[in-house]
Amino acid sequence: MGEKLFISEFTINAHRRNICRKLNIYTSVGLLNFVRKNGLI
């Protein structure tokens, strides 16, 4: 994904971490459930 957006893996992880913090999601499974529930994938 980083190659397509021309950003580093660290940047992607930082954005994901910030999103999870704002949504009070603590696991990857929780994030995946949120994405599915909200029709983002």
* Cβ-contact 12, 1 below 8 angstroms: yes
Q: Exposure pattern of 20-30 as b/e (b: 16+ CB <10 Å)? A: beeeebeeeee
Which residue's structure tokens are 């940047």? 11
pTM of the model: 0.70
List the structure tokens of 21: 């913090």
Quote the pLDDT of residue 38. 95
Quote the pLDDT of residue 5. 84
Sign of the alpha-carbon dihedral angle for 28, 33, 36, 40: negative
Which residue's structure tokens are 């994904």? 1
Ordered by start, the domain boundaries in the chain are: 2-37
3-37 tens-digit pLDDT: 888 889 999 999 999 999 999 999 999 999 999 99
